[in-house]
Amino acid sequence: MKITRLELSQYRNYEKISVQLDYPICVFMGENAQGKTNLLESIYVAATGKSFRTSKDSDLIRWNESFTHIHLDYWKKDIRHRISLSLAPNEKRYKLDDKKLDKRSQLFGQLAIVLFTPDDLNLVKGEPATRRRFLDFEISQTSPSYLYSLQRYYRVLKQRNTALRDAKYKKSSIELVRIWNSQLAQYGAEIIHARQNALFKLNQTLDGIFPEVSGKTSQLTLIYKTFLQDDLLLDLNSLKKKFLDKLIKMEHEELARGTTLMGPQRDDFEVLLNQRSIHDFGSQGEQRSAVLALKLSEIYFIQEEIGDFPVILLDDFTSELDDSHVISIIRSLPRNLQILITSVHTLPHPFSDADVRYYLIKEGQLAGKGEPLPG
């Protein structure tokens, strides 16, 4: 997939801009706090309906303004598309090719993206929720049915939790809990199954990628941690049956605690370097390489699932890595994908000038429009 044009009105610190992005590598340069990340963020918002920096949509509207619009033109498998998003307080509208979309989930996966930010280190260092989000985001972009299961699961979970809470005072609520069990196990099994499959595929890719990124022959492995049975690939029906059995076994305790105590909402995956937890034993450098390898394998996962490369967004990429590392990583990416990069300095790039365009961002404006290499 390739983005060809981005138009913003009243987005963050941008009043109005229109940028032609018809190049394999687009580098947005500028001092701090000029709007580089805001620009990448707007693309992320157009692709997913949400920001990676804030959960408050109103933050995206330029201060003292009442709305914001984002338009994004892109190619997907030789077909042109256009996503439009408008946001006003308490109102959010999506359009794909001038057709109105009813739900955010319909937008998801139209334009697949993979975002790299300095925060990615949390994939190794952070909470299980960060890793679940990584998996859910990646799989949802390739599978609308996964997103559907996920949404259904959380809805059922909420209702079941309410029933568990009420059961303390109302005997009849126990029946309700049992009624929800079947759906919880069904959607839950679908989620676990898809996540285990995704990790299986990521592991295959990591075998090749990690040595390349780290310069070592070490092996990086991801292991799904679930309350059912860790890292055992079961078929969907067996998973569902195990889930149901577990719910029955745990009923007493769940009633006492008044909430659902297990399920994919608590699962995690572990990152092992040569069979040892990289969280506990990895050096800073190893952890960084692991995260990078993980994100790179996400690119190939999406490509294999949907038959097209996602657009890559690299925020502040060079701040964390030395220049030679940057070159080798960009070199390792397939040449036919599009990469949008923000950076405070010129990128040491290994490609011909024709491939790279520089954009200078200053106070929410485009000072240089798609210049070839400066100097």
Least gap, CB of 299 to ligand ADP (angstroms): 23
Report 62-81 residues binding ligand ADP (CB under 6 A): 62-63
Is 117 a binding residue for Mg ion by CB under 5 A? The answer is no
Q: Which stretch binds ligand ADP (CB under 6 A): 17-25, 33-41, 146-154, 241-249?
A: 33-41
Distance (Å, whole) CA 262 – CA 307: 35
Contacted entry of Mg ion, ligand ADP, none for residue 33, CB cut-off 5 to 8 Å set by kind: ligand ADP
Is 37 a binding residue for ligand ADP by CB under 6 A? The answer is yes
Q: Are 111 and 71 in contact (CB under 8 A)?
A: no
Is 48 a binding residue for Mg ion by CB under 5 A? The answer is no
Distance (Å, whole) CA 292 – CA 128: 18
Least gap, CB of 39 to ligand ADP (angstroms): 7
Distance (Å, whole) CA 15 – CA 108: 26
| Helix, strand or coil, per DSSP, at residue 132 | helix
Contacted entry of ligand ADP, Mg ion, none for residue 68, CB cut-off 5 to 8 Å set by kind: none
Is 51 a binding residue for ligand ADP by CB under 6 A? The answer is no
Q: Which residue, 30 or 263, is less far from ligand ADP as judged by CB?
A: 30
CA angle 373, 44, 66 (to 5 degrees): 105
Least gap, CB of 43 to Mg ion (angstroms): 14
Is 343 a binding residue for Mg ion by CB under 5 A? The answer is no
Is 37 a binding residue for Mg ion by CB under 5 A? The answer is yes
Query: Which helix or strand (DSSP H or E) is residue 41 part of?
Result: helix 36-48
End-to-end CA distance of the chain: 30
For ligand ADP, the binding residue among 15, 16, 18, 33 (CB under 6 A) is 33
Distance (Å, whole) CA 54 – CA 294: 23
For ligand ADP, the binding residue among 15, 59, 97, 323 (CB under 6 A) is 59
Least gap, CB of 40 to ligand ADP (angstroms): 8
For ligand ADP, the binding residue among 34, 117, 186, 214 (CB under 6 A) is 34
Distance (Å, whole) CA 303 – CA 300: 5
**What is the arrangement of strands in the sheet containing 79-88, beginning at the earlier edge strand?**
14-20, 2-11, 68-76, 79-88, 91-96, 99-101
Using CB under 6 A, list all residues that contact ligand ADP: 12-13, 30, 32-38, 59, 61-63, 342
